[in-house]
Structure 1
């Protein structure tokens, strides 16, 4: 059995983050949460997560800034982006910045678990 992944979840929707954290912890992952980009960047620097799941629309800046920060530190950390808006230009910008997988909200826990396994290569 692979070691649990440390997953950072970034979204300003606290109820959604809490639900994902609970469900992913039950699946054996270690989860940390941030509710804005500044908090996320601090956690990325302090915790070096194995995988980051971020919303693209955050109150203080775009999730693309988080992606750029991660890529400046690591070329290999998997990044999953989520958005409540089907905006191809935003998804294209996220992938150009270094995101690996894009999901349209709402995302079921089954779909999220599937893409986490895919992103981690497990």
Structure 2
């Protein structure tokens, strides 16, 4: 998944970004409302981790604007506001979950997995790709011999995007968007490299190249 973290606390933000990235997700970090809105205008995100009190306003305003334009991107609120009324306001505004600071990273990971099971590719309990079985919510792949197949964070990010709409063709730029957080250098052959790695691990027939258009999960697996 591509995750937008909106958090102004340097220590917490760095800890959350590092932890979420280690779970195989691309993370963009905004520390105020303006930067968050700029990120949302520039890319599509699969999940938003949203602080409510920011230097230039309130995070709940972002949530309300998202829902007003019928943007259903999942949102998990992270805030020091622990009053029941605050939770009710956040959930009524359209949040999918609510965490009170200090945030336990293990609990955050569990909440992210719970949201992922309800949305996108990770909602699939099991996907069969040729001779392999993929369990997206568990970040686990089992090969033909019954052994686990390990993927890197970027390999998971690419596979997640391809599985999010299994019959869809994704352009190179769309897959690059899934692979990188903002500020990361994009090399011209990066998508090809990671497609090649996935084919080597999952089977060369799993990902189909559609000439002139991009890549997709092969309809024949």
TM-score normalised to structure 1 length:
0.89
Match of 2:31 among 19, 28, 35: 35
Match of 1:92 in 2: 88
Secondary structure of 1:31's aligned partner: strand
Match of 1:63 among 39, 59, 63: 59
Q: CA RMSD in A?
A: 1.3
Secondary structure of 2:49's aligned partner: strand
| 1:9-30: CA deviation from partner (whole Å, max 9, x where unpaired) | 1111022111111111111010
Report how far residue 85 of structure 1 moved.
2.4
> Contact 1:9/1:31 (CA < 8 Å) preserved in 2?
yes
Structure 1's consecutive aligned runs of 4 or more residues displaced over 6 angstroms after TM superposition are: none
Report how far residue 69 of structure 1 moved.
2.4
Q: How many Å separate the matches in 1 of 2:66 and 2:4?
A: 12
Q: How many Å separate the matches in 2 of 1:88 and 1:37?
A: 24
> Contact 2:66/2:72 (CA < 8 Å) preserved in 1?
no
Structure 1 unaligned regions, length at least 5: none
| 1:70-118: CA deviation from partner (whole Å, max 9, x where unpaired) | 2234443110001112122222111111101011111111101100011
Rg bigger for which structure? 2
Q: How many Å separate the matches in 1 of 2:70 and 2:42?
A: 14
Work out the number of aligned pairs and report it.
118
Q: How many Å separate the matches in 1 of 2:51 and 2:106?
A: 18
Where relative contact order (Cα < 8 A, 6+ residues apart) is larger, the structure is 1
Q: How does 1:5-24 map to 2 (within 5 A)?
A: 5-24=1-20
TM-score normalised to structure 2 length:
0.51
Q: How many Å separate the matches in 2 of 1:114 and 1:73?
A: 28
Q: How many Å separate the matches in 2 of 1:89 and 1:99?
A: 14
Q: How many Å separate the matches in 2 of 1:102 and 1:25?
A: 20
